[in-house]
Copies of this chain bind each other. A is one copy, B any other.
């Protein structure tokens, strides 16, 4: 399983992904699920992947191979983020044409979902969620985030605290709290984490951090958040259903 979340804010984008892949409980591996494509001062694109690893790796390889071939639409040449999302969707469809029938023979579903976000000079930062069929949706002003993979455990806290006006630091903090809730509830989501921060109008990654078990900030956040939740909970008034009511 995987958990990836990407947030689109007034001041830029925040991406966070775990790195655990599992094919059964005795086949656990670490694979990075966040890939950055950038041409400094012109474009920065961040891709997150979930689903069948063979599929998503094939998509990423295909996208990389095309980067320097001007005859193909590619992530370095496309004019805007919409076209970049089309490139990703097309790569996914190419993998589908090659692999889906064989996978079906083995009873394996063609399952892959991706998030693509970033900024290309000439337009604001944009964020897309791309489905297995290669189609996609884009975040609108009412959408502050997309998730892929094991999304439910970590969703409530994002809904409660993140707005377009949140700062990049707040968003990074919220993504980490959301990831913490997910890791606690689903063993197949695991460290290290990849955190990527993109500042608006800088066309480069502002920060790309790999967060392991020993990261002092993440350890601190996890401990304090647990404590803060328990305290907040303790301060809620008890119901009086067992006494007067």
A interface residues with partner B (beta carbon < 8 Å): 152-153, 155-157, 159-161, 167-170, 172-174, 176-177, 181, 184-185, 195, 197, 199, 206-207, 209, 217, 220-221, 224-226, 228-233, 235-242, 245
Contacts and interface: CB of A to CB of B under 8 A. Distances in A.
A181 B156 contact: yes
Contacts of A239: 169, 172-173, 176, 217
Contact of A233 (B157, B184, B206, B238): B157
A221 B239 CA distance: 9
Contacts of A233: 157, 160-161, 173-174, 177, 228
A170 B185 CA distance: 21
Given A236-B177, A239-B169, A152 B229 contact: no
A176 B241 CA distance: 13
